Amino acid sequence: MRFRATVQNVLTFYRLIQTVEKLQKKCIVKFSEPAMHIICNHEEGGVQVWSKIRVDALFTDYRILSHSNNEITLNLPTEALSTALRSASAEHTGANEVVMKLAKKNNVPVLSFEIFGTTHMGRRVKVAHDVRIEVMKPTDTAMLTEPRCPEPDVQIMLPPLSKMRVVVERMRYLSDVIAVRANTSGCLQLSASTEAVKADITWNNCSHPRMTADGASQANAGADELEDEERERPDPKQLFSVLVHTRSLLKFLNAHVVSKTTIACICQGHCLILFVYIGDSADVGGVLTFYIPSVLDD
């Protein structure tokens, strides 16, 4: 089993791990020839993240070899990985090359980061960070399954997550639960209430992309398929809703550090699915998919 890569886009990698670090203390990272997957599936509030990032969006000189279809799956602490990447991305280190590789230190498997930089005096320096890992067995990896959800009732483009985060931060003082509502005429609404107070925040003129189950665009859908969609389209003013824990929504909104485009899918009464796209819309490098379960309405 061998793995080595040069981290070309250190800041994006750091922001990805910074996002999942807020969810749980450990995450699963799966390396394969075409992509890297980051999985968080044991968060206390039920939030899950399943991501797929193209290798060329983050790495160069990428080499992987294993007896498991050239796939290597690691279980590792998010804080330690975040610390290593924060060091590599810090401007004061003067890092001009970051090499990530599998290694053993004192017979303990680690994901090693070698950071090569230059001091203000022009001297070349090397800093190393070792993240202790658990290499998962192929049988355990095969048991990893993404949540199964019904077809969404509505899909809508979200406003900037940083602005939504400010709103939800204020609403959390009202309620532990927030209703997320949307319709097909471009209306997105967040609602929180107590016995005495109710707050509704509404965004209008949000766009409605067509999507597949894996978050891909359906821009090339056939004419017959589009006609079927038109026939099945609900009343444009009908709001579909899902109740979620406020803390779960805030954990998702930590993705504002990496998000440029985010699409929400509401499966009414079941869950909220959120696709956070990485990179420019013309060349998407990957997607973080968040699953937030619904709170049962008593």
pLDDT of residue 222: 47
Confidence of residue 298 (pLDDT cuts 50, 70, 90): low
Residue 281, pLDDT > 80, answer: no
Mean pLDDT score across all residues of the chain = 88
pLDDT at 231 exceeding the cut of 50: no
For residue 117, is pLDDT > 90? no
pLDDT for 145-197, tens place per residue?
A: 999 999 999 999 999 999 999 999 999 999 999 999 999 999 999 999 888 88
Longest dimension (CA), the chain: 69
CA neighbor of 181 nearest in space, from 243, 253, 254, 236: 243
Q: What is the pLDDT of residues 188-203, one digit of tens each?
A: 999 998 888 899 999 9
Residue 80 scores a pLDDT above 60: yes
Nearest to 162 by CA among 273, 263, 260: 260
Q: Is the pLDDT of residue 20 over 60?
A: yes
What is the spatial distance between Cα 43 and Cα 50, in angstroms, rounded to a whole number?
12
pLDDT above 90 for 214 = no
pLDDT for 282 equals: 61
Please tell me the predicted confidence (pLDDT) of residue 125: 83
Mean pLDDT, range 78-107, rounded to an integer: 87
- Say whether pLDDT at 285 is over 70: yes
Q: Which residues pair with 288 in a beta bridge?
A: 51, 276
Question: 18: closest CA among 276, 295, 270, 281?
Answer: 276
Tokens of 208: 């409605």
- CB 15, CB 53: distance < 8 Å: no
Contact 238, 183 (CB under 8 A): yes
What span, in angstroms and rounded, lies between the C-alpha atoms of 73 and 88?
23
Q: What's the per-residue H, E or C state across 203-231?
A: ECCCCCCCECCCCCECCCCCHHHHHHHHH
Indicate if the alpha-carbon torsion angle 34, 25, 258, 270 is positive or negative.
Answer: positive
Instruction: Provide the pLDDT for residue 197.
Output: 87
Cβ neighbours of residue 135 closer than 8 Å, sequence gap 6 or more: 1, 72, 73, 74, 109
pLDDT at 226 over 90: no
